Structures are given as structure tokens and as C-alpha cells.
Structure 1
Amino acid sequence: MAAVLNISAYLFTRIDDPADLRARLEQESREVGLKGTILVAEEGINMFLAGDTDIVRGFVDRLRQEERFAPLTTKESWSANVPFQKMLVKHKREIIRMDRPTIRPGAGRAPGVDPITLRRWLAQGADDDGREVVLLDTRNAFEVDHGTFTGALDWRIEKFTEFPDAASAHRDELAGKTVVSFCTGGIRCEKAAIHLREEGIDALQLDGGILGYFEHVGGEGFTGDCFVFDERRTVDATLAPTN
């Protein structure tokens, strides 16, 4: 039976003390025996944690007691073993690197589409205004190779910092369409959708990313598995490890 709780969570929120927060979270996470990775930057926090259910949820609940982290939501999945070897807490320039400092989701995110609505759009072949819906995978090529939405655009980027140039190169192809950007858990498509809209593209982000879609809808319209950055490597539409 799967006894280990795995969570992924991120939040774009202003952090004025990232170095101090990093040190505190490193101490607290190790004291309670968590494994995983936490990234802290001025723009927010990004976490992948695994451990005993009560310990993981308790750690997140304590973090939410701070006003700046109150909106933090998690995506939960289960495994038989802890898929991390150690606990790493890092202070970074960005919690997801894009090298576009003017893209700040904490100041206002792009419009989103929830998984249930997206499933309906895919089934009917258009959005609610009758416009063509284009799914855009914002992940790196090796992640896409494990699985993606059927018919999704894949620009074969090797790292997320290449996304803005790829968007500029493909901008005309997306004109007049409803573009839904998606990624693993939502963090990359937060920045991607803002950038696309600045390029004049009518872009939305898939709320919760692929993992959120699996949680609320299952694998309908998705082919393959979803790559995750831990020792599970991939999860299926039930969020169970496939390796």
C-alpha cells in the first residue's frame, strides 16, 4: 500500500527575506524528517516534498499561517517509498527560470481555465465562443516525450528560457485562436501565459497544470504519462507512479 504522501506546491508572492526564509525552512523541514526540494526567491516559493502524511500536511499548514503564504495550495499523490534521497532548500533568483524579470505573476496572473472546462472544450472542438482551442505544451522536450495532450503544440524547447523566443517565432500561427498553455503543475504556464498575452496572443493557463487535470478529470485527452522531477520519474492519470 502506498504510504508516502508526495506534494507539489508553488505560489508567486512577494518574499522580502528569501535568504532568511531559506535557512528557516531548511531547519524546520529537516527537524521533522521531510525529504524533497524547496526553492525560495523574491518572486515566491516552489516545493516538492514527501514523507508521513501528518508531517507533510503539518509543515504546509504552518507555512500557511503566514499571511503571504495563506493562498498556498498543494497537489497530492502517493507512493510506496520516498522518491527523494535528501532535503534541499535553495535560494534562487527565480523559482522557475525564464530570464524575463518583467514577467511577475505575483503582480497579476493571466486568466486560467479549469480542467473540467478544458475537457468540455476538447470534446466540443472549440471554446464557448466557438473559437479554435490550441493546447501549447510549455515543458521541455524530454518531458513532452513521456506524454502530453493529444494534438498539443510542442516547440521542442530544451529549457524554459527558450520559451519567449519560441513564442515570438510562432506568434502568427496562434493569432485568432484560444491558446491554453499547460505544464506539469502550473508554475511554468503562469509565466508562459503572461508572456504570450504580452505578445498579443489570447492565452489562458491550465489551472493546476497536468497534475491538476489528472486529479479532477483523469486522463481524458491525454496520451502517455506525466514526467515528474523525482525518483518516480512519471505518474499516470491516477497520479500513481508508473515506474
Structure 2
Amino acid sequence: MRKYQTLLYYCYSHIDHAEQFAADHLQFCKSLGLVGRIIVADEGLNGTVSGTPEACQAYMDAVHADPRFAKTDFKIDEVNELSFIKMHCRYKPEIVHSGLRDPKIIDPTKETGKHLEPREFMEMKDRDDVVVLDVRSNYEHNVGRFKNALTLDIENFREFPEKINELSAYKDKKILTYCTGGIKCEKASALLLKNGFKDVYQLHGGIIKYGKEAGGKDFEGKCYVFDNRVTVDVNHVNPTEVSACRTCGTNSSRMINCANPECNEHFAQCEACGWKMEGCCSDTCMAHPRKRPYDGTGYYVKVPQPVNLEKISRREVKRLTANPTLHN
């Protein structure tokens, strides 16, 4: 029996005073002994947290007890080690960065693609009138994706709206969107509908839920996750490896960041080439004067930067001004 659990979840639901909610929610998570990363926005919650089964259950119970988040779908992984080092809960403009903040353009609480449960998705995905669309970034689908899925050349989800025109040839098809846990599909499918696509679906619970409930059939490679595990196995039926080491070309799903901080590219590199290249993606980066020491992980702790007061939101400044005690 594994010692810890990791929860992946999101919920689109309006949160009043979301910045204060984020601060209070952080303290609540810490009181339970959880570690993880949660994004809070006016539009809802997006998080991955890790802790003991008891702490995770207490957290899920508390979230479900709040009417705003009562329908939150938690994906639960049993893990041997905590998936994070610290607990972060931050306020941001969106719970997934798309650049589509105006609810008059798209609002996932009102209109999205039709939700397909994993086994429904599995039954539909190979039909002739269907296109399976991966809405994730390059580094994610390069390490794992559904067989025959259409992938987009994007470095970040915020580039997705720019790719809509490239998909126009598929407007007469059923579009089945998917992502890691489902959150990106909420906005991607809504935007497709807004742009004239008539028959749009999304994999409910994403790749993670598909692996748990449908055995991960026909998902090739591994699923990229945003915690210390980096990638996880999904396919327990017909697994394959699709990711290749950047340096030597052998199959490898081991993801690292380039040791040159001015590059910092996220890419696949086998362990042997990692040591050979000192964690770099190229000879140029190996020779860079700022190259970071490579310890075999390809993971580098961010160096804290000075606070830029100009970037503090006007709302936060107003809140602090109105409540002087919050400074203490």
C-alpha cells in the first residue's frame, strides 16, 4: 500500500474576493499538511495537491462542502512519495492561461463541448467521422499522445486561439478534444464552438481519468504532469514509447530542463546523454558561462526575484489600503 496520495482537480465557478480566498486557502492546506500547487482566479480553482490519504480526504470533503465546488471531480493517484516539496496557492487572472478572460467571449460554466466519459471516448475515437484533437503544448504531446491524434505546434496553451483557423478543414467532423485532466478542454471546446464548429466533445477527466477507467488503451507514451513525477504511466493495455532522447534518438521519456538558464528548454534526454551533455540540449549551451551544475535530475530550484511593486494588482493594493491590519 502506498503511503501518500496526489489529487488533480479543477472547477470553474465564480469566486468573490478571489485574492483573499487564495490566501485563506493556502493556510487551510498548510494546516492539513498538504503540499502542492493551486491556482485561484475569479473563474475558479485549478490544483494538484499531495499528502497522506487522511489529509487528502479532509481536503476533498472541505472542497465538496462548499456549494461553489460541490461538483469538483478529483483524480486520485496513490504515490510512494509526495509529489511536491512545498505548498503554493496563488491568485492569477485565469486558472489556465489562455488569454481568454472575457466571459462574454467564452464561459465554461455556460457552454463547452459535450463531455464524454472515458469509455465513451474510447468507443468514438476511431470512427471515420471523428478527429481526436490534443490541445496541449509540444513538450506534453511529444512525450505521450493518443494514437492518430491531431497535435498542434504550440509552446503554451495561450497560443491555442491562434491555431483555430488551421483546424477549419475539420469543421464537418466530430472533434474530440483531450488534455491532461480536462481543464484546457473546457476553454478549447468552448472556443471551437464559438468559431463555428458544430459537433465538439471533450474527454471528461482527461488522460488521467482515461487511464484509470479505460486502461489507457491507445494512449502512446506517458502523460506529462505538473509535479515532481513529471510523467506518469497511463496505458496498461497496449503501452508503447513515443518520446526520443534529443541527443542520441533512443526511446526516452525522461524530461529535463537545459542546464543553461538562458535556454532552459524542456526536452527529453536519456540518462547517459544527460551526463555526457551535462544536462544541456546542445554544445552551445554546454559552453555557456552561466551553465548550472548538473546533478542528474535536470531540475533547478528557481532563484527568488525581487518583488516588482509595479506588477502588484490594483485590486490587491486597494485591499491592503482598505485593511491596514493585513500589513502586519
TM-score normalised by structure 2 residue count: 0.69
Q: Does 1:35 align with 2:35?
A: yes
Residues 156-200 of structure 1: CA deviation (Å, up to 9, x unaligned): 1111111011112322x2121101010000000110001011111
Which of 211, 221, 224 is equivalent to 2:221? 224
Q: Does the 8 A contact of 2:220 with 2:235 survive in 1?
A: no
Q: Residue type matched to 1:160 in 2? A: F
Q: Structure 1, unaligned stretches of length 5 or more?
A: none
Residue 200 of structure 1: aligned partner = 196
Moved more, 199-208 or 48-57: 199-208
Measure how far apart 1:21 and its partner are. 0.8
Q: Hey, what's the Cα distance between the residues in 2 that align with 1:132 and 1:195?
A: 21
The residue identity in structure 1 corresponding to 2:27 is Q
| Overall identity of the aligned pairs, in % | 33
Q: Distance in 2 between matches of 1:141 and 1:185?
A: 17
Letter in 2 for 1:40: V
Residues 1:136 and 2:133 are matched in the alignment: yes
Report 1:1-243 matches (<5 A): 1-100=1-100, 101=102, 102-122=105-125, 125-126=126-127, 132-171=129-168, 173-201=169-197, 202-237=199-234
Query: Once the 2 structures are TM-superposed, how far is the Cα of residue 109 of structure 1 from its aligned partner?
Result: 3.0
Q: What is the aligned residue count?
A: 234
Structure (1/2) with the larger strand percentage: 1
AA aligned to 2:43 is E
> 2:219, 2:235 within 8 Å by CA — same for their partners in 1?
no
Question: How many angstroms does 1:238 deviate by?
Answer: 6.4
SS for the counterpart of 1:105 is coil
Q: 1-side partners of 2:189 and 2:235: how far apart?
A: 27
Segments of 4+ moved more than 6 angstroms:
none
User: Of the two, which has the highest radius of gyration?
Assistant: 2
1:30 and 1:87 in contact (8 A); partners too: yes
CA distance in 1, matches of 2:99, 2:224: 23
